[in-house]
């Protein structure tokens, strides 16, 4: 079976990581020939693509970039692609290619957790395209229910994300003191709610002035990023909060961190949460998306309501003050992630979806 993963860019975001990871694990399965296409631009994750994966970058300049569409169509026909596995907004160009190559099958992968709470009128293009999808994969049940209700695709499946530990050579050295670093692994996007996290950290510093906060993720240099940096300055956190942009050596960064946090106000199923678990770190996450399916509150981590900095600070301080509890949570979370969110479990379920798609 020949499968092409399609993603807008190779920036180090959650959907992008899934697309690259899926392409890589398929490339080592004897029943598959694996390909990956970045439609708009390359990025940090390009170096993570396995040598066995057939690769294409379209450098698409606009929604209806005729040259890019033709290039993708030629690639599909030349390599006899069976399935276009389109991630996030790349469903549109996948649909255009299907109109040109009718026998191709589209599997659309929805990673955008906030979609389940948006006005359906903003999804008219997606609704139209969905009649050409053979299958939809959703990263949480809210998205699955939304797709079943509003889209025109019969086969909709919930498939939680998976994570793998990278083997990238360590290059990043976090500031601050060992054992007193808190890590937030998330791109600078509004749904990641850095403002709540900054307010939380301001509260925490009143009791633990030696602690530092480390934010790793792409800075898009937009209004949200500017607001975030302004809040750091306004809260007087310049000497305690550090931003590193996108980084490849995530395993190395996790090794230097004491506690990991996610402060999002919406999510699908964040890859960062699974990476925290694999690294055996104590974790606090907000109760959004499928975070509470991964974190069993009071068993393998802590779940708090979103946009509540005082509560988040309280729970962070509880973990700092109770190291034995934090270590027990971390151990339990690692076990759960390895058992339920491994690449082996994921691949087994994904192959079932692909086979059903081809047989339909």
Query: What confidence tens digit (pLDDT) does each residue in 123-169 have?
Result: 999 999 999 999 999 999 999 999 999 999 999 999 999 989 988 99
Measured over the CA atoms of residue 278, residue 279, residue 280 and residue 281, the dihedral's sign is: negative
Q: Where in the chain is the domain with CATH 3.40.50.2000?
A: 2-162+342-359, 181-340
User: Angle 309-321/194-205 helices, nearest 10 degrees?
Assistant: 50
Residue 230, CA distances (Å) to 197, 233, 307 in order: 14, 5, 19
Q: How far apart are CA 129 and CA 127, in angstroms?
A: 6
- 232, 200 contact by CB (below 8 A): no
**The two three-digit tokens of residue 18, written as one number:** 């899934």
Pick the CATH number of 2-162+342-359 from 1.10.490.10, 3.10.129.10, 3.40.50.2000, 3.40.50.720: 3.40.50.2000
**Residue 12, token pair as written in the block:** 């180090």
Q: Which residues pair with 107 in a beta bridge?
A: 85, 135
Taking a C-beta distance cutoff of 8 angstroms, is the pair 115, 143 a contact? yes
Residue 236: Cβ within 10 Å count:
10
Is 230 in contact with 196 (CB distance < 8 Å)? no
CA angle 276, 319, 302 (to 5 degrees): 55
Q: Are 126 and 95 in contact (CB under 8 A)?
A: no
The model's confidence at residue 325, banded by pLDDT at 50, 70 and 90, is very high
Q: What is the pLDDT of residues 51-87, one digit of tens each?
A: 999 999 999 999 999 999 999 999 999 999 999 999 9
Q: Domain 181-340 maps to which CATH number in 3.40.50.2000, 3.40.50.12500, 3.40.190.10, 3.30.70.920?
A: 3.40.50.2000
Task: Determine the pLDDT at residue 5.
Answer: 98
Length of the chain: 360
Tens digits of per-residue pLDDT, 178-234? 999 999 999 999 999 999 999 999 999 999 999 999 999 999 999 999 999 999 999
Q: What is the pLDDT, as a whole number, of residue 122?
A: 80
* Single pTM value for the model: 0.90
Half-sphere exposure (Cβ direction) of 238: Cα atoms closer than 13 Å: 4
């Amino acid at each position: 079976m020949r499968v092409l993963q399609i993603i807008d860019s190779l920036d180090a975001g959650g959907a992008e990581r899934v697309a690259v990871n899926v392409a890589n694990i398929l490339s080592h399965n004897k029943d598959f020939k694996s390909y990956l296409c970045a439609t708009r631009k390359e990025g940090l994750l390009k170096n993570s693509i396995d040598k066995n994966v057939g690769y294409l970058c379209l450098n698409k300049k606009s929604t209806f970039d005729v040259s890019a569409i033709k290039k993708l169509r030629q690639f599909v026909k030349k390599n006899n692609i069976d399935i276009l596995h389109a991630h996030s907004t790349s469903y549109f160009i996948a649909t255009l290619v299907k109109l040109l190559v009718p026998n191709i099958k589209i599997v659309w992968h929805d990673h955008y957790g906030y979609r389940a709470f948006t006005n359906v009128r903003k999804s008219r293009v997606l609704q139209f395209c969905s009649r050409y999808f053979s299958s939809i994969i959703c990263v949480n049940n809210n998205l699955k229910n939304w797709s079943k209700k509003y889209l025109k695709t019969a086969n909709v499946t919930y498939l939680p994300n998976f994570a793998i530990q990278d083997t990238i050579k360590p290059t990043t050295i976090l500031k601050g003191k060992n054992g007193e670093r808190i890590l937030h692994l998330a791109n600078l996007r509004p749904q990641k709610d850095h403002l709540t996290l900054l307010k939380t950290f301001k509260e925490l510093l009143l009791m633990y002035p030696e602690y530092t906060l480390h934010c790793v993720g792409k800075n898009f240099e937009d209004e949200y990023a500017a607001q975030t940096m302004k809040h750091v300055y306004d809260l007087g956190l310049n000497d305690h909060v550090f931003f590193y942009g996108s980084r490849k050596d995530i395993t190395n960064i996790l090794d230097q961190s004491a506690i990991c946090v996610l402060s999002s106000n919406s999510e699908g199923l964040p890859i960062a949460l699974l990476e925290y678990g694999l690294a055996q770190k104590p974790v606090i996450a907000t109760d959004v998306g499928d975070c509470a399916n991964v974190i069993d509150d009071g068993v393998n981590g802590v779940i708090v309501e979103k946009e509540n900095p005082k509560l988040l600070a309280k729970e962070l301080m509880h973990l700092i003050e109770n190291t034995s509890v934090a270590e027990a949570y971390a151990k339990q979370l690692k076990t759960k992630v390895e058992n339920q969110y491994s690449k082996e479990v994921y691949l087994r379920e994904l192959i079932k979806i692909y086979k059903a798609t081809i047989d339909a």
